Structure 1
Amino acid sequence: MQCHKRGRDASWCCHPDLEELATRELTAAEREQRAIEAASELGVEYTEQVEQAGQDAWAKIRAHQGSAAA
């Protein structure tokens, strides 16, 4: 179990799966749910056009990360 001190209030957060949650790849359903929630928080309707724009942005990020590592 990993325990991490959080913020100025010095409270502790202990979760048996903390490392796994932080490092695992999200499922397609989890990614879509997070995208829908993020769009909602921004006041944007989550449409196919918004989804495609997000996918295009991630493709550019991955391409940049790949060229930076080379």
Structure 2
Amino acid sequence: MNNFKLIFRILKYIEACMEYESFDDDNFTASHFGVSKALFLNILRTLLEAGYISGIKIVTDKC
């Protein structure tokens, strides 16, 4: 999958969740977007650093 398409899908998902009081984090997963966990986390980290998203914390753990 093209990373720009993935970025668009992530941002679109976040935008859709803004209509509700709580964020639907059950479906905000790599598997929901059909990509590896590593790619999903790297894209999220890039979006955070670029200032496109805020309010989330990426926790990486060896376990």
Instruction: Give the TM-score range, shorter chain.
Output: 0.3 to 0.5
TM-score by length of 2: 0.33
Larger radius of gyration: 1
Greater strand proportion: 1
**What is the TM-score normalised by the length of structure 1?**
0.30
Higher RCO (C-alpha 8 Å, min separation 6) = 2
As a proportion of its length, which structure holds more helix? 1
